[in-house]
Amino acid sequence: MTNSVTVRRRRLRLGAIAAAITALTAGLIGATSANAEKPTAPPDHAVTAMEQVAAMQPGWNVGNTLDAFGGDTGGETAWGNPLITEELLQTIKAEGYNSIRLPVAWDYEHTGPAPDYTISSERMERVAQVVDWAIANDLQVMVNIHDQMFTKELPDDRENVLAKFNSMWTQIAERFKDYPSELSFESINEPQFPTDTANQDAHTATLNVNFYETVRATGGKNADRLLVLPTWVTNSEQPHLDALKATIDELDDDMIAATVHFYGFYPFSVNVAGVTTYDEATQQDLENTFQRTNDTFVDNGVPVIVGEWGVLGYDYTRGTVPNSPQYGELLKFFQATAHQAVEEQLTLMLWDAGSYLNRHTLEWRDPLLKAYMDSGFTTLSGTASFDSIYLEKAGTIADESLTLNRNGLDFEGLWQGDTALTEGADYTVSGDTLTLTAAALTRLAGDRAYGTNATIEARFSDGLPWAIHIITYDKAQLSDASGTMDGEPWSGWEPCNSSCFAIPTEFNGDQIATMEAKYADGTNAGPHDWTAYKEFWATYRPDYDAGTISLTPDFFNAVRDDEPVTLTFHFWGGGTIDYTVTKTGTTVTGTNP
């Protein structure tokens, strides 16, 4: 990565802006320090769109909150998050964020019927309250229309959809027309038009232009407020970038930014098709996406906000988050994304629906992952080819090697807590190959109980240390089972319970990397039939505490009756294990060959 980044850096034409962004994002780790002095909002004098967007780095989404609907509080708590408080926004600011994206559902129970489509005063003032809190706490805030349902009908009901869309934006813009420049507006979240995919870019342009003209017409500070326009479904493929660039060129307004979303290489992001590590394809997808976005917009004077980013499979409700994908590989992705965004001058806004910051306690669910995100904005920390060494319990311990990813840093040795391991006796380094000796591994494994026996750190000249876990395992054991699927409606978000088929499993310290599913003739079985490797959680769910691997209704709904399916479970330590399942109606049998 470092070589391509170096070449890319030479090509940037807006070096002064890159320097500004680097300065703005410096020192994110420890941003709570009283000595941290970063410009976090547009200065009082007139600024460019580029300067304002740079000052928003990094940003955070208040996801699944004001964009939710239903429930007793106008939808705000309906999807599991508490009410937004000023303390929440103060926490976000103290954690180093300089902006929030505020997704808002204005439709549903909040907007009246035609022809006026009046937004309720309760909804409008609740949004204003949150905006006021954000600005008072030195956070820029980007407000959008997050409702996609009614705008999807644009191809078939153009007049009514635009009447509603324009009315909503007129009311929003009038309410906030006197607000300072710390407030920006985003046209619409992820516009999509399922009934007319051939003209999706044109329909997106229609919404964007109507939004632009409606907001600017309200005057006041909306005359030069930053307005943010998405691509079709905020997609970053070149044709959609080009279509949005054409719209922005036609509007010829210096206070416009573009927005896309980024959730990484899809097979990596959801753990499907066997992509369980931050491999070359995943890295290349990141670099290519951010580079073409920079080339299309930033290098032509249009700033870019990545309005949502993260990993699709990262959901705290799952209980086994690191399996989508493997935990150390997840850390690599998060820091690399932040780093690449700075290199390509893109402002990131983390999509957080409760998986990262626990809004009930105002604490990060995973402080180490947060640290890697922060590190990426300033220093690309050193890593290794993997974060674990698996030792078979019954086997003879031998030397084990990992490859160092120095990322331009110097390797400074291994530590266990405050104790430095001894080079030569405990480990050797040859080029980028780090080898732990059998003697050191024997000592670290101790009594060789199943699971993690010890954790050591590879330290580098800068950035975060890389944890390496010494794990003892035996090959997992899967038992025969039979059961009846209950046939109840299944959303895919629910716990398995009786909706799933559970395979009794003794994991013996090991963990699943991925699962294949094939019929006897070798063809792929189950959902995503373009690959034998199935999607984690959507089709299979390991529960290491309960000792089960559950297969979901989504998996069996895509499996033919009375045809045995061979499942091949890939484990990080113990290779592969085959298991056969057969569905007959609602009855499932599983056997261990």
CA distances from 487 to 270, 527, 542, 556 (A): 26, 18, 21, 11
Distance in Å from the first CA to the final CA of the chain:
44
- 190 in active site: yes
CB 239 within 8 A of CB 260: no
Long-range contacts of 454-458 (CB under 8 A, 24+ apart): 454/416, 455/416, 456/414, 456/415, 456/416, 456/421, 457/414, 457/415, 457/416, 458/382, 458/384, 458/404, 458/411, 458/413, 458/414, 458/434
Strands 427-430 and 304-309: unpaired
Q: Among all chains, which residue has been given the structure tokens 């006897």?
A: 520
Q: Among all chains, which residue has been given the structure tokens 């045809």?
A: 563
Rounded CA-CA distance 117/119 in Å is 6
- 250 in active site: no
Q: Among all chains, which residue has been given the structure tokens 């030479």?
A: 10
Q: Among 581, 472, 543, 547, which residue's Cα sits nearest to residue 323? A: 543
Q: Enumerate residues 6+ apart whose C-beta is below 8 A from 159.
A: none
Determine how many CB atoms are found less than 10 A away from the CB of residue 220.
13
Active-site residue, from 76, 182, 186, 190: 190
Torsion of CA 82, 84, 86, 88, to 10 degrees: 60
Active-site residue, from 182, 186, 308, 344: 308
Q: Enumerate residues 6+ apart whose C-beta is below 8 A from 149.
A: 107
Q: Looking at the annotation, which residues are catalytic?
A: 190, 308
